[in-house]
Amino acid sequence: MDSLFGIPMNSIMVVLLVGLGVSLAVVGYVVLRNRIMFRMGVRNIPRRVAQSVLIVIGLMLSTLIISAALTTGDTVDHSITKLAYDWLGHIDETVMFDADNSTTATEKAIVPEAAVTKLEAALANDPDVDGIVPAIMEPLPIIDERTKLSSPAATMVGVDPSRLDGFPDIVTRDGHQVDLAALADDQLYLNKKAADELDARPGDTVTIYAQNAPYTFTVVDIVKDNVLTGAISFQGQGSFASEGMVTRLDVVQNLVGRQGELDAIGISNRGGVRDGLALSDTVAQKVEAALTFTNLEVTKQKQEFVDQAELMGNVMTTMFVVMGLFSIAAGILLIFMIFVMLAAERKPEMGMSRALGAKRGQLIQSFLSEGMAYNLGSALVGAALGVLVALAMTRIMASMFASFGVSIEPYVTSRSLIVAYSLGVVVTFITVIFSSWRVSHLNIVRAIRDIPEPTYRRATLRSLILGILGVLLGLYLGWVGLASKQSFPIPWVYRWSYLVRRPFYAAWLSPSG
C-alpha cells in the first residue's frame, strides 16, 4: 500500500517519525533537566501494577485500530498484486490490435507476425528488454475422454518455443520448467484450472473441437495458471483462473487456420517478475517508436494490473481507518479521562508538591513523564495486537475470496508498523500534554485537604440580557458625550440628577423643614 487519503505512505512515515522524535526529545529534556520530577512521575507505575495494566489497555486502543487497518491494507495490496505477478509472470507489456486506430471497420483484429520481426530488430541490443514472445489464443471446446468431463471454452494458447528465453513462466505444479519445443503435434499441457475442471491427469486423451472438426491431443503434464497457459486472456476473453492449455505456436495456427496471425506479443523487461515493473514506461516508449503498424498499440499490462490492485488495497485501508475514527476519538477521550482520574486520585500528593515549592510546569513534567512511559509501552502492545486482529480478518477474507480464485495471504510491512506505532505515540503525546496542563490547575490548600474545587455558577439568560443592555447603555452615553463635545456626559447626568433631587433639597433647607 503506497498511499492513504491520497498522501504517499513514505511522506506520512517521515512526518510521524519527526513527531515521534519530538515526543521523545521532550521526555529526554525532562530526564536531563529535571530528573526528580521524572522519577516522581514514573515511580507510580510499579507501585500500582493492576492500575498500570488497565491504563495500558486503555491507551493502546487507538494504535490497535490503526495497526489493524494498515496491516489489512498491506495484506489486500500484496495478495492482489501477487496475483498479478503470478498470472503475468515476466510479461510486462503487450502489443495488441487497436480497434480505435484501425483503417476499416472490417479489419481483422490480429497482430501480424511481421511485427515480431520489426520489434526484435529494433530492440535487439536494448539492455532494458529481456525478451519478446508472440502468442495466439483461441477459446475452444474440450472434453476429457477418460472422465467425460468437458469445458465449453478453454483458452488454447500457442507460443513460439524458440522465443521463451526471457519467459520462464510455463512450469509444472512442482516448479519445473517444461520444454515446449519437445512437444509433438498432438501433445499439450493443461493448466491447473482446466485439470480441476476436467478431472484430468497426465497421460489423458482430450478432444478439442476446432473449425467444426475434432482433434485428439495427449496431456503431457499439468502446469500452473498464468497468461501463457491460458488462465487469463490478453484480449479479455477469459476470466480469472479460467481453463486453458498451451502448445507450440505453429500447432495452434494450423489447428484454427490462422497461419501468420497472432493475438498478442509479450515483452519482458530487464529484471525479475517484480523488478521489471520500474522500466514499463521506458520500454513502452521504445516499443511505440519501433512499431510502424498504425493499428497496433502497446499496453503496460502489468503496471495497470498492479495499480488496480494497489487502488483496491488503498480503498479497503481507507474504509477501515474511517470506520475506526470513531473508536480512535473514543480512545482519545479515554486517555483524557484516565489522566484526569489519576490527577483526582493524587490530588493531595500534587498539593504537597506545590506547597514544597514545585511549580505548575514541574507538575506537568511529572505527569508527562508518567504518561509517556505508559504511552511508549501501550503503543507497542497496540501495534502487535493490531497485527493479530488483521490476521484474523485475513482468514475471514480468504474464505470469502476463495471462490473467486483469489488467494489472500497475510502480509505485514515494517513501514505500516512504524506508521501505526508513531501515530499512536504522537496522538497520545498530544492528549497527555493537554490533560497534564488541565490537571495542573489546582488550589494548593484545597488539594492538600482533598476537598473539591469551588463550583462557579454559570451565566444565565437573565445575566446575559442585562449585560447586553448595559453595553447598549454605555454606547448611548458615549454617543451623548460626543454630541455634547464632552469626553463623557457626566455634567449632563449630574444636572439630570440635580433636577430630580432639587425638591428634596428645597424642603430640607426651608425654615419649616
Among positive and negative, which fits the CA dihedral 33, 36, 40, 42?
positive
For the record, the C-alpha cell of 383 comes out as 501495534
Q: Which one-letter amino acid corresponds to residue 438?
A: R
Report the distance separating Cα 35 and Cα 351, nearest Å. Answer: 20
**398 pairs with which residues across the strands?**
none
Q: Which three cell numbers stand for residue 136?
A: 495466439
| Residue 27 CA to its chain's centroid (Å) | 31
CA distance 224 to 194: 10
Cα separation, 310 vs 77, in Å, equals: 5
| 495 pLDDT more than 60 | no
Q: What is the pLDDT of residue 237?
A: 42
Q: Are 120 and 132 within 8 A, CB to CB?
A: yes
Q: Tell which residue, 282, 307, 265, has the closest CA to residue 98.
A: 265
Out of 66-70, 125-129, 143-147, 352-356, pick the least confident.
352-356
* This prediction's pTM: 0.65
132-149 burial by CB neighbour count: b if 16+ within 10 A, else e?
bbbbbbbbbebbbeeeee
% helix / strand / coil in the chain, to the nearest 5? 60, 15, 25
pLDDT of residue 506 exceeding 60, the answer is: no
341 three-state secondary structure: helix
H or E element: which one contains 3? strand 3-4
Strand 7-8 to strand 264-269: parallel, antiparallel, or no bridges (unpaired)?
unpaired
The number of beta carbons lying within 10 Å of the beta carbon of residue 78 is 20
- Residue 63: name the closest of 435, 430, 423, 324 by CA: 423
Contacts 24+ apart (CB under 8 A), 454-463: none
Q: Which range is least confidently modeled, 176-180, 422-426, 470-474, 490-494?
A: 490-494
Interatomic CA distance for residues 506 and 498, integer angstroms: 11
Q: pLDDT: is 120 or 103 the higher one?
A: 120
Query: First and final CA of the chain: distance in angstroms?
Result: 99
Q: What amino acid is encoded at 205 in this protein?
A: T
Q: Does the pLDDT value for residue 492 go beyond 50? A: no
Q: Which of 72-81, 157-166, 303-312: highest mean pLDDT?
A: 157-166
Pairing of strands 296-299, 93-97: antiparallel
CB 230 within 8 A of CB 281: no
One-character DSSP codes across 8-24: EHHHHHHHHHHHHHHHH
Cα–Cα distance, 494 to 474 (Å, whole number) = 16
Q: What are phi and psi of 186, to 5 degrees?
A: -115, 30
- Count CB-CB contacts under 10 A for residue 251: 20
What are the CA-CA distances from residue 438 to residues 24, 361, 435 (Å)?
Answer: 21, 11, 5
Confidence of residue 382 (pLDDT cuts 50, 70, 90): confident
What are the residue ranges spanned by the domains of the chain? 3-86+308-448, 93-299, 467-509
Q: Is 244 strand, coil or helix?
A: strand
Average model confidence (pLDDT) across the chain? 80
| Closest C-alpha to 356, from 40, 33, 31, 29 | 40
What was the pLDDT predicted at 331?
66
Query: Does residue 489 or residue 137 have the better pLDDT?
Result: 137
**Which class for 258: exposed (0-12), middle (13-18), buried (19 or more C-beta within 10 A)?**
middle
Distance between CA atoms of residues 470 and 321, nearest Å: 51
Is the Cβ–Cβ distance between 365 and 38 less than 8 Å?
yes
Residue 356, φ and ψ in degrees, nearest 5: -85, 0
CB atoms within 10 A of CB 235: 14
Q: What is the b/e burial string over 94-104, where b = at least 16 CB atoms within 10 angstroms of the residue's CB?
A: bbbbeeeeeee
Confidence tier at 453 by pLDDT (50, 70, 90): low
Which has more confidence, 367 or 509? Answer: 367
The rounded distance, in Å, linking the Cα atoms of 498 and 513 is 19
